[in-house]
A and B are shown apart, each in its own frame.
Chain A
Amino acid sequence: MNRKVTPILLAAGLLVSACADRLDVTATSPDAAAGTATRSEKIINTSEQSRPGVLLLKLSEVPSDEVRAKLMGCGLEDLQPVFPSTPGKEELERRFGLDRWYEATLSDSQTADQTANALCAFNEVETVQFDEIFRNEESEYVFPVSEAEMSSPAATRAAEDLPFNDPLLHYQWGYINTGDVSLAEDIYKGADINVKSVWKNLCAGDPDIIVAVIDEAVMYNHPDLAANMWVNEAEKNGKPGVDDDGNGYVDDIYGYNFVRNGELHWDGEGNTGHGTHCAGTIAAVNNNGIGVSGIAGGTGKGDGCRIMSCQIYDEGGGGDSRIVSKAMKYAADMGASIISCSFGYTGGTYKSDAAYRNGNNKTNQVEYDALKYFEATKNNPVVDGGIPIFAAGNDGDPYATYPGALYDIISVSAFGPDYLPTYYTNYGPGCNIVAPGGEYLHKVGNSYPPQCMILSCYPSELGDSWDVVNKDYSFSQGTSMACPHVSGVVALALSYAKKLGKTYTTQKFKELLLSSANDFDTRLKGEKKLYGKTLNLGNYRKQMGTGSIDAYIFMMQIEGIPCLTAEIGRNQWIDVSQYFGTSSVNLTYLGEPGKEEGQVLCEISDEDRASLGLQQDPYMQYGKLYIYPTKIGSGKVKVRAIAGGNIIGGDDAIGGMEMTQEISIISRTFKSGTGGWL
């Protein structure tokens, strides 16, 4: 795929510019090199890896005819707004500057750097951005589902007490992992997202929660997806070829193809079924007696979350900043609560949030503005904005790719059926949480079956070469597959919170997500051996975010965590895993240092301090909360931790997100070891 920059080039860049925020990949580009000497600080990236013939300009204000004429005189063929304005969203568009982003088509694409510099001479031009191309985190392997698998024995499913009648659910170990060694000899029972009891007892989705899959097109008429597709009723019931809803896009019934500016298109040379696969993980229709299950796919009664398809790749093209940005804004404007983004810049392109966000001149990239616009758009009654989820990247790099690596954006790493890091997953700074991504090369007997990868939907048109009857499903692997696992869980959580009438800030909701994780570090010892690959597991310790996502813990956090009980008259530790997941012992906690090494003081109000009769500040040590109440009372102790790594990301470095939990404590004269009242 030409979306991929050669690793050798990247490695060289890493070596020669280890101190630079932005890797200097321009050194190999004569065109870019020519412009480097006189490059304006308004230019925030390079022409390397960019769509030729196009520049993105952020202007100081919407241009007058006079300004427009001046800019056109620099060798432009056309100058158009990047984003169509959406009725009712004008104020938000202005707040994030989306109304001032323009796409400049060049008369001569060979002179892009010179034209960029020329445009920078005008005060009205704040930022010039080359239309940089993102990389789809596509799967290295894609396998069909065999006839034997399609006829998965009902007896097996019954024995597993599966909640839905979807025949392939048995193979979706990422949801319910019973430790079936026929899938992988080294499978680890429980290596899943723990969704079974959520489905059975709490929630399976809500049609008001819409997840936009920003990817290749989703096959909207797929038999296992059609009923859970988001539908733009105005366009569906409108006239063909007419923008019936006036949103700037014609016939966008199930989403939009931003590459071709037209209908969704999933077949054809270069398309891989990536978007359809991701969509199936998020919300394939459950309990419909066919195929697979989706995490937020409902119960078969029309109650699944909805999928919106925002196509940014098509037949190997697309995926540039402008297209991605338009897709993000579209998702926000058309009602999506989550964007599931299995793409990113090539690993190592940026090494700090500031470098990604600002370039050289402290103004934002276009997709950063669009991302913030999405995050500021409230599309459900639960949270006050949108939630982006990104794949961490598939290069095995010790950092996440941007934009997912931004400190406050969720970036997802991948584990295999063995509950260990996959050989391909990125890890380390910027990676916030880990989810099932699947991994080929796990042995069963003398073969390496594909069932150890992730099973989901697939556009049958792409399976022409497959010698199977049913081509609607496939096995695949990647952080691209881990990302929709988290998107699906977030969709479930929003659905459940809506059902309970709960409300949150997006920040708090993300904190709840990241603290709904299981310990992932305990098993990271020694080596992991796959066919032809050996991983030193020690490299991954404390590098896999807060741990593995747990849907049930997340729902319990949504319900509200009961008070923990402390006994008066003694200093004692309190297990905070209900608040921070079982990874709580591995987290880095924030606060003033205590008297002894490793102690971090926690905040508590004077009123609560008095209620509990505290003589000293509570503190975190060894991943536990220490507190010494002296009277019957209650209080909330504020504990701060880093979600992903041991530094907070920001302008200077890639890092994790700060998360805060208020731990409610009741002090009594006694406590039982179980936490029971008696």
Chain B
Amino acid sequence: MNKIVRTIFYSATFLFVLAFAGCKPHEPAEDPTAKMATALAGTWNLINITETRAVTIGSEAVDVYVVFETDTPAATRAAKDQSPTSYTGTFKLYQMLGTGRFRTFRGTWTLTSTLLTGVYSNGTPWGAQYEVTLDDDDTRLSLAAPTETCIYTRVNALPAGL
């Protein structure tokens, strides 16, 4: 009898271990927001404004690069009192609207679920909040404000001089 009980106990233990061996329930990679935050990291170049179907507005060329960096270690959670699905990081924005040189902006971002918000370094919030969509291989980023959607592509590096 004892042998049977021991067999059942060991079998159950074995099955339990087997069943949950691959699970890491507290790993960020399992959190889709964490996955998105990780994928957000990198350098992005604006390639399309869907409303104008170009990288122009009217006759003016728009050249925008955004570098998102996640807080270290990568995709750590935001402060504990925040939603468990919020992640933060910093950004650098390089833009040339029409003529002139690239202007640089810096600040921080927060990703909550799929909603991306941000604040410039002087405390001014972004002009909009964005619904984030990444394609399967994380090379194409869509930032959709309620009235305007911009498509970015991942690039390896900023242009020389930036």
Interface string of B57-74 (1 = CB under 8 A from A): 111101010100000000
The residues of B that contact A672 with a CB separation of less than 8 Å are: 120, 124-127
Cα of A87 to Cα of B60 in the assembled complex, Å: 46
Residues of A within 8 A of B96 (CB): 562
Most buried by B among A560, A666, A672, A673: A672
Task: Assess the A632–B98 pair: CB atoms within 8 A.
Answer: no
- Contact present for B98 and A666 (CB under 8 Å): yes
Chain B residues at the A interface, C-beta cutoff of 8 Å:
46, 51-52, 57-60, 62, 64, 66, 91, 93, 95-101, 103, 105, 118, 120, 122, 124-128, 130, 143, 145-148
A556, A632, A667, A671 pick with most chain B CB within 10 angstroms: A632
CB pair B98 A560 closer than 8 Å: yes
Residue pair A678, B57 in contact (C-beta under 8 Å): no
Question: Can you list, as one digit per residue, whether each of A544-580 has a CB less than 8 Å from chain B (1) or not (0)?
Answer: 0000000000001001111101000000000000000
Q: CB-CB < 8 A to B124: which residues of A? A: 672-674
> Does A302 lie at the interface of the complex (its beta carbon under 8 Å from any beta carbon of B)?
no
Residues on B with beta carbons closer than 8 Å to the beta carbon of A611: 58-59
> Given known contacts A562-B99, A666-B58, A666-B97, what 16 new A-B pairs fall within 8 Å (CB)?
A556-B101, A560-B100, A562-B97, A562-B103, A565-B97, A608-B58, A634-B98, A664-B60, A668-B148, A669-B51, A669-B147, A672-B125, A673-B124, A676-B95, A676-B120, A678-B105
The answer to whether B103 touches A670 (Cβ under 8 A) is: no
Count A-B contacts at CB 8 Å: 104
Contact, CB under 8 Å: A676 / B57: no
Least CB distance from A581 to B in Å reads 16
Q: Which partner residue on chain B sits nearest A632 by CB separation?
A: B51
- Rounded to whole angstroms, the CA-CA distance of A632 and B100 in the bound complex is 21
Chain A's closest residue to B66 (CB) is A678
In-complex Cβ contact of B57 among A634, A670, A671, A674 (8 A): A634
**Dominant secondary structure of chain B at its interface with chain A:** strand
A672 to B124, CA, bound (A): 7
Which of A563, A667, A675, A676 lies at the interface centre, i.e. has the most chain B CB atoms within 10 A of its CB? A676
Q: In the bound complex, do residue B93 and residue A632 qualify as a contact, i.e. CB atoms below 8 Å apart?
A: no
A563 near B60: Cβ-Cβ < 8 Å? yes
Kindly state the separation between the CA atoms of A617 and B52 in the bound complex, as whole angstroms. Answer: 24
A74 to chain B, nearest CB (A): 61
In contact, A668 and B57 (Cβ under 8 angstroms): yes
A531 within 8 A of B: no
Residues A214-252 near B (CB distance < 8 A): none
Interface residues of A in 643-678 (CB under 8 A from B): 664, 666-678
CB of B3 to closest CB in A, whole Å: 68
B100 interface neighbour in A562, A612, A671, A674, Cβ under 8 Å? A562
Question: How long is the Cα–Cα vector from A383 to B99 in the complex, in angstroms?
Answer: 19
Contacts of A667 in B (CB 8 A): 57
B residues near A556, Cβ cutoff 8 Å:
100-101
State the CA gap A560–B98 with chains docked (Å).
9
Residues of A within 8 A of B148 (CB): 632, 668-670
CB atoms of B105 and A676 under 8 A apart: yes
